[in-house]
Amino acid sequence: MTNRDRIGLTWISFFSYALTGAVVIVTGMVLENIAEYFQLPVAQMSNTFTFLNAGILLAVFLNAWLMEIVPLKRQLMFGFVLMVLAILGLMTSHSLSVFSLCMFVLGVVSGITMSIGTFLITHLYEGRQRGSRLLFTDSFFSMAGTIFPIIAAALLARALPWYWVYVCIGVIYVAIFVLALCFEFPVLGKKTASGEPVKKEKWGVGVGFLAVAALCYILGQLGFIGWVPQYATKSMGMDIGQAGSLVGNFWTAYMVGMWAFSAILRFFDPQRIVTLLALLATALMYWFITTTDASMLKWIMLSLGFFSSAIYTTIITLGSLQTKVSSPKLVNFILTCGTVGTMLTFVVTGPIVEKGGAHAALATANGLYAVVFVMCLLLGFVSKHKLHGHMNSH
């Protein structure tokens, strides 16, 4: 693997996370416009986004095996074709079933690229460097989360149809497509770099704790972010612009946090730092849902974004360090569990909002963050990352 290829593949990983971030995070911004377009209530319309999340889940799950069968470059080429078809479908059709199908396809494309992006980073970098690289990669998810709601708001404010938001997202895949044509990808198979057969390693109980933590973290985070605008406008008396800027604040601080932690993580034990961050995030979220002072919400969101930014990637990094050789199946397993959290976002929070309003959904998210903290704490007793991390980091 030449250095030029390594840099090119790293950029593909960056853009793959930006793509998924953009697709997932604009949902809250365009939801009402799409509901009006199809003349459906917002709660019912939110269910169709389950197709998007189902597509991501299916792609991430299957790609654990597909990566060893279908070359990575070919998968990205195929993804480009699917992306173009899905966006054309959104632009030309007024049918709800076609909309759901296009959302599913967008999900599949995002899932394929994100699982390839994650694998490339765990394949190209070792030890603690892997953790900080993965964090920097994940910061592109939140960068898209900062930029695309602004683009969406600008397009919608000019009364342009909502599907132009997805056309803008498609531009990211054009960059991935061009890069994929220019660089060589690693070939995955049953042998190590030195030509010996890959030995199967036991994962251990720590992977189970990490899997639950990944699922609860993503479900909690997206459930929270998805309903913050509704809570801010209906319960805290803000206008939609202020409510949207709360979400923007969260992702901006999240991105800054990732850059900060990608430097900090090299010096600390990842299990200890993720436990501390999960505790802080749980406390901040509790403060957000109990405060009556609307002017505080902005500051709580900034703090929450900053301190929760390193949790998910550190969970994935710890997962990849539970075995001596980074395994695509193990990394994809934890990613799949996180993606199950994405998929369940509206399935779980939709009924809760119907019964108890947006505040109840935020309280549920807070409970899920508490579970993440407990899982990270328990991991401390069984994790093998010190065994494998130190072997890799020298």
Residue 191's pLDDT is 52
- Give which of 34, 64, 9 is closest to 166, Cα–Cα: 34
Q: Compute the distance between CA of residue 348 and CA of residue 219 in angstroms, rounded to an integer.
A: 9
CA dist., res. 209 & res. 211, Å (int): 5
Closest CA to 249 of 213, 218, 295, 292: 295
DSSP-assigned letters across all residues of 56-72: HHHHHHHHHHHTTTS-H
Whole-angstrom Cα distance, residue 378 to residue 280?
Answer: 17
What CATH number matches the domain at 3-188+202-393, 1.20.1270.10, 1.20.1250.20, 3.90.260.10, 1.25.40.80?
1.20.1250.20
8 A C-beta contact, residue 301 and residue 249: yes
What pLDDT score does 392 carry?
A: 43
Each residue's pLDDT, cut to its tens digit, for the chain (394 residues) gives 788 998 999 999 999 999 998 998 888 778 888 888 888 887 778 778 888 888 988 898 888 788 888 899 999 999 999 999 999 999 998 888 999 999 999 999 999 999 899 888 888 887 677 878 888 888 888 788 778 888 888 888 888 888 899 999 999 999 999 999 999 888 776 555 455 565 677 788 889 999 999 999 999 998 999 889 888 888 888 887 888 888 889 988 988 998 898 888 878 888 899 999 999 999 999 999 999 888 899 999 999 999 998 899 889 888 888 877 767 788 888 888 888 887 788 789 888 988 998 899 999 999 999 999 999 999 988 877 666 554 443 3
Question: CA 234, CA 362: separation in Å to the nearest integer?
Answer: 13
pLDDT value at position 190? 54
Supply the pLDDT for residue 135. Answer: 84
Question: Could you give the CA distance from residue 52 to residue 100 in angstroms, rounded to a whole number?
Answer: 8
For residue 391, the model assigns a pLDDT of 43
Q: Which of 179, 34, 20 is nearest to 96 (CA)?
A: 34
pLDDT of residue 48: 80
Q: Which residues contact 241 (CB under 8 A, 6 or more apart)?
A: 153
Per-residue tokens: 341: 């959290």
Q: Distance between CA 88 and CA 86 in Å, rounded? A: 5
Sign of the Cα pseudo-torsion (243, 246, 251, 252, in order):
positive
pLDDT in the model for residue 300: 96
**Model pLDDT for residues 378-391, shown as the tens digit of each residue:** 998 887 766 655 44
pTM score, whole prediction: 0.77
